[in-house]
Structure formats: C-alpha cells, structure tokens
Structure 1
C-alpha cells in the first residue's frame, strides 16, 4: 500500500516567537543553525535562543530566524518520516515559500539563507522609507474584501488585499490611514472580526516595490534547479516545476498578494495531496487548511514531541 501524498507547508513571518529554537537546540540538525550563521554573517543562534519579542519582530530578524528553524525541523522530520524527503508538493506562505523551495530541492540551503537574508534586509529598508500596517479581516469573502479595498483606493487611499488565506479570511495592507478607512468599510460590509498585525510595513503591496527592485540582484546570483516535486507559488497558486520560472515569481511575490486559499486547493484538488504537514512554529497553516480543504489530514510539527513516531523494525527483517 502506498503512503499518504504529502504536502509540506511552511509558515511565514508572524509565526516567530522568543525561544522558538530551544526545543531543537540538542537535535543533530542544529548544525544548520551554525551553517546559516556562517553564510549570513548573522547571529542566527542568538535569534532562535535569546532574542526578545521586539528584536524578533524586526523584519530581517524574523525572516531569517523563521526560515532557519524550518530547515532544522524539516531535517528532523525527514529522519522520523522518510516520505517527507519526496513529498507530492511543497508550498510556503510568503517567507515560507523559500523553505518550500529548499524542501523541493529547487535551491540549496546556503542559497536559501542568502535569499532570505537579502529579502529581509530589502523589506526592512522599504518599511523605513514607506511605513505601513496590516490587518486580518474575518467574515468576508475575497470578493467582498477586495470591493472594500477598491472603494478606498478609488478615493485616493493606498490599501490592498495582501493575503487571501481562506474562504472567509483575508489581510489588508497599506499605509495606516488607508487601512483604517478600509477597516471601517469592511465592518460595514459585515466583517465579524478585524485584528491588527504588529508590523511596520505594507507587505505584498505596490508600496514594497523598492524592496522588490533591491532584491532582484540577489535573485540573479542563485542557480535554480528542477526539484523533486512541484512547488505551488504564492502569486498564482499554480504548481511550478520549471526552475527558470522562480526568479520572476519571487520578485512578484514581494509586491503581489499571497493566494494561499487557492494554493491549498491546488494541492488538495489538482495534486491530490491527502495530508498537509506544517513545518515550523505555530499551526496557522493547518488551521487554514481545515477551513479550505477539510477532508485533508493535517499535522503540525513545531516541537520535537510532535514528530511522527518512527516505526519499529519488525523482528527478523532486514534493517
């Protein structure tokens, strides 16, 4: 009998929390943290073990720490669940797309570290030049939320729908004044809840154009390869196998919306994945998958105790 058709999914910025690396510090895969520190020239171990909430909230720190921890967890997951070495598909939410690319073999670990470090730095600088904010909106369809944002843009506001996370959850992004106006529009349209996200930038909007332009140089330095499985991209929710598509997809991702609900449908319906494994801090993506593809099994691995148990070798069998 064949095993489950795994989709490995990786969370993005916002999943990080202080001390998130401590449960993994004694694992054999912790050496990846040391390697990431050498490649990036950053104190990655310090970010994962000792950084407080304020330090981790900074965009470049959050992205690098989250990515590297996901790589540590992935390595340990593959020791416990060999099928995770050849998944049916991978995908990641925003920053998590870089972990998905490494997991699929499209880029190597060192190049993944370099890309994430460059992306985080470019986005941090763009936030300083053009501050912004984001807010989660619950209870509206994607069409209703886009209508609210479009009405504010028609009146000169700079606000966009940055994430389409589930059939009834989206994220607004833009400058603070326009996001505030759009929140009021969303409430009038029937939103059940709106929650501010503590970030300093308008991620996944045209306001991130300076970051995308700065990041292009880093993308040109990386050799993308054909992976072991397709990676479902944020910007179009399509499964991509061609290596040469990724520089453009990743540049567009900086300024374009994350179409996560559609990506989940692609993995569940088109690629026939029957188990989603969330690799990284938290369990946000498995929660979103439950709303979008409820029939698919889900597993979140954020700590060693959540790793699947390794089956014992039957007596008399070959090791």
Structure 2
C-alpha cells in the first residue's frame, strides 16, 4: 500500500510525515474500518472525549470543519495509517530514521516516535483542539496562502502591514513558493490584495482561526496545563520540531516545544531539509489523509523520492 508518487530507490531511509488540520474529509475512516488497527479509534475516543468513530465515518464536512473535530479526526486517521503501514510492511517500517508532523501532525509524529502514548497524544490533541476552537470563537482570525514568491518577499509584505498597525504574522513557511500568513481578517485580506498587486497568487483559507500566531495565546493556558500533566518518553527516532526545525529526541523539553508551536511559525521547508541533509533520510513517506505533504516534498526537494501510504479500498458488503 505504499504508492510511489515520485521516484524510487533501493532500501530507502524513510522520513515519515504526518499531516495537519485541513486534510479532513467525510468518510475518511471507512477504509480502515475492519482492519486490526481500528481498535485505536476506541482508545482515542476514551482518552479525548470525542466520538471519533462518528467523526471518521458519518460526520459531514461542516462538522469536520470545526477545529476540535478536525484535529482529533486527522490525528486518529494518521495513527490508523501508521499502524497499518507497520503491520503490512515491517521491513519498510524498520527503515524509518526520523519523523515530523505539520502543525497538528506533530502530535501524530510524537506518538509514532513513542515519545507520547496513544492515550496521552489523544488527550493533548483533544485539549488543544478545544482550546483553539474557543479562542477562535472569542477572537476570530483568518489565514491565507501566498504563492509564487520567496518567504522574504512575503515577510516584507507582512512587515509593511504591521508598520501600518495591522495584526499580521507569517504562520507557515511551507516551500520556496508558498508561505501562509495569519492575523485579523482585515489584515489578511488587505495583505493578500497587496500580494496580488506584487504579482503573487493567494488564497484565503476557509478557517476562522489565526493559527500559529499570537492570536492563539489564550489557548496556551489550557494546553500548558495539559502538557504539564503529560509524560514524555525517550522515544525511538528523532522528531524534527516545527518551531526550530531541529531534530529532538524525547523528553520533557517537548512541553516547551509544543507550547511554543501553538503561537509560532511552522518551519516546514526547513524541516524537510533537516530530515534529508542532517538525518540522512533518502525518501519521504506521507502517512495520513491526503497527499499534501508528499506534494510539498516535491516542491522543496524535487530530486528526493516522496511516497504516500495509500488507504485500502473499502470492502463492500
């Protein structure tokens, strides 16, 4: 069930990537129902307080668009894929040298690296999602992807807006040609228009939260309390953190990294380079719903093979 998306090499050293919020879709759990890994759904439901089976099987797009629902759904779907990947291809799983996750996906990566247990990861994702949803309800924000220019060009647009009093920040640096901005809706829409005038493409994202910006600071208190109650193990492989694009092993320092991640830029382009150049990953495997991260590998490291782990075809009665 590993489909080769780009290139192929013998005996690759895999870096495994886990997606974040935004890849959720109705029925995305259906292919995994009936697999031995489906028991994870009950474990995540008990730990998080959500009916995850309902979210994965019957929830509509509007229900899944809620921040808390989206996060626990993508987290669970990613763990189902990771579990089935290891069960079906233990030889490939033994060649995983490092992991990373985009935003929410960092929690999936921490579970995959055995820094967090499934129960602790599910509980943290549940608390994080609820805190972020409540923060966005109290102080709505917006995000937009700016494409076609280097991050420095987008940073200059953001700084110009901030000099004029706008509440705006760079939220994600995803590739040499894609940077996401976040802040107030007025600031995001005005800066997106400025980007268009500069010859850049942009897309205002269908979200009401300014993720990875100071707008999320109120959510930090609840997440911080949850992190303090969570144990972080040594882990089995390095995890490259979003906030500093450095490889970290397990340990209590992940409390601070996870807390900072809530309000800080996701350095995804740098993360991919670290996985390849410092941790010697020779191929990337996108685990979880969709193939967004495999696409970002192609944009950042076009010469490196990027694969995705495909969900099985659902069995019809």
**Structure 1 Cα separation of the partners of residues 97 and 249 of structure 2:** 12
Task: Mark the runs of 5 or more structure 2 residues left unpaired by the alignment.
Answer: 1-9
What root-mean-square deviation, in Å, do the aligned CA atoms of Structure 1 and Structure 2 show?
1.5
Aligned residue runs from structure 1 range 8-27, under 5 A: 8-27=16-35
Contact residue 144 and residue 189 of structure 1 kept, 8 A: no
**CA shift digits 1:64-94 (9 cap, x unpaired):** 0110111111000001221325621000000
Asked if residue 228 in structure 1 is aligned to residue 244 in structure 2, the reply is no
Asked if residue 285 in structure 1 is aligned to residue 278 in structure 2, the reply is no
Asked if residue 55 in structure 1 is aligned to residue 63 in structure 2, the reply is yes
Contact residue 7 and residue 277 of structure 1 kept, 8 A: yes
Match of 2:214 among 178, 198, 206: 206
The aligned counterpart of 1:100 is 109
Contact residue 230 and residue 241 of structure 1 kept, 8 A: yes
After TM superposition, the runs of 4+ consecutive aligned structure 1 residues lying more than 3 A away are none
Contact residue 115 and residue 250 of structure 2 kept, 8 A: no
The alignment partner of 1:255 has SS state of coil
Count of paired positions: 305
**Structure 2 Cα separation of the partners of residues 85 and 210 of structure 1:** 40
Contact residue 12 and residue 95 of structure 2 kept, 8 A: no
Task: Mark the runs of 5 or more structure 1 residues left unpaired by the alignment.
Answer: 306-319
The alignment partner of 1:263 has SS state of helix
**Structure 2 Cα separation of the partners of residues 303 and 280 of structure 1:** 8
**CA shift digits 1:228-266 (9 cap, x unpaired):** 111000001110125122100000000001000000000
**Structure 2 Cα separation of the partners of residues 86 and 57 of structure 1:** 35
The aligned counterpart of 2:170 is 161
**Structure 2 Cα separation of the partners of residues 100 and 48 of structure 1:** 20
Asked if residue 134 in structure 1 is aligned to residue 143 in structure 2, the reply is yes
